[in-house]
Structure formats: C-alpha cells, structure tokens
Amino acid sequence: MTEVIAIANQKGGVGKTTTAVNLSAALALEGKKVLLIDADPQSNATTSLGFHRDTYEYNIYHVMLGTKTLDDIVMDTDIPSLKLAPSNIGLVGIEKEFYHNQSERELILKRAIDVVKDQYDYILIDSPPALGPITINTLSASNSVIIPIQCEFFALEGLAQLLNTIKLVKQTINRNLLIKGFLPTMYSSQNNLAKQVFADLAKHFESKLFKLSNDSY
C-alpha cells in the first residue's frame, strides 16, 4: 500500500524542504519507487534536484487547476526510482483560482494522487510555509505528516496553530491522517540552547519525537 507523507510546518527555514528531498532520495536509494511532489511556490525541492524553473512547461500548479494530471508533469531525476512533480512561483496564485473556479478544492490534490498512487511505494509532499489552501490539500491527501522543528529559541512558535489545523483536517476531511512524528532539525550537541530545546520537545511530544543519532542540519 502506498504511503503518502506530507512534510509540513508553516514556519519557514526549519529544514522542511531538506527533509522532503533527502527522505525521498534515501527511500529511492533503498529501491523504493518514490514520487516527490513540490507543493511550495518557492520551488526549492525542484531546484534541489537540479531543475531550473524555466526548463519545464507544466508543474503542480496545472494539476491543482485540473488542466494536467500528475503523470503529465512528472519528471525523472538522477536517482532512477525517484520522480519529481515540480513546482513554480505561479502556484502563489492558486488561492484566487480555487475560490473562483473549484468546488471541493481541499480534495483536488488527493484526487490527483489517487490516480497515480499505485505506481509508487511512497509519495512525499513538500508543503509551503503557510496554512493556506495548498497545505490543506497536502494534509487532505496524506496518510501521515512529518513536522520538522528547528532546535532554536522560538521552536514551538506557531506550532499550536499547525496542530489545530491538522486536527481540523482529521475531523472534517481526512479521518486517517496521523502525525508520524516531530523531526528535530539543525541540532548541535555543542549548543546548549539546542540541547534544551530538544529536551523541551521530548517533554511535550514523548514517543512522537524522532530520535537523534548524531548532530542534524
């Protein structure tokens, strides 16, 4: 059964895209068939995999509009079993398109994924750093969500809002949505603040906090 995982945090700069790209690559190198969906208008996952924004005609924006399927836009990467559904800055305009042209707009991405999910073992979605309609779509389409949290002073800032959004999506749209875990990022064992933040995260989230094997960046 295909596992669809959203990588989400409305706070920018926490290692969300780095997590999405590296986890996708690691799974693919283990022989799994993986699709990485770049749902962030900044397109950092797309550029991280070596694609310039001007080198492809169609992207996830067109899928969200309903004019293209995921199969239409998916591109091969340098890792044979890793495919990419690219993004583009044009995705910032999707909210206006949603409210003017789409019904059940929170399910658009889910329906697109349902068509292709049997082709993959894992589908990972790099969500934008916001709690708008795109992130609602990524949560509605996923089995689970990984929440990267930077080990710094304001680590928990805004997290309650994200957790409330996940709870709302679970109650109203996607009953099967689970939090797979909270992922500490940019952790250094030489940094006392990072160690204190990690201890606070462990206190709050207990078994849902991914363990650290060494320093993480």
Break the chain into its structural domains and give their ranges. Answer: 3-208
Is 117 within 8 Å of 123 (Cβ atoms)?
Answer: yes
pLDDT in tens, the chain (217 residues): 999 999 998 877 778 999 999 999 999 999 999 999 999 999 999 999 999 877 899 999 999 998 999 999 999 999 999 999 999 998 888 877 765 655 678 999 999 999 999 999 999 999 999 888 999 999 999 999 999 987 666 666 678 889 999 999 999 999 999 999 988 876 556 666 666 666 667 677 777 877 776 555 4
The rounded distance, in Å, linking the Cα atoms of 141 and 86 is 17
3-state secondary structure of 216: strand
pTM score, whole prediction: 0.90
Buried b (16+ CB within 10 A) or exposed e, 88-114: beebeebeebbeeebeebbbbbbebbe
The architecture that CATH gives domain 3-208 is: 3-Layer(aba) Sandwich (3.40)
Residue with token string 């990022």: 185
3-state secondary structure of 83: strand
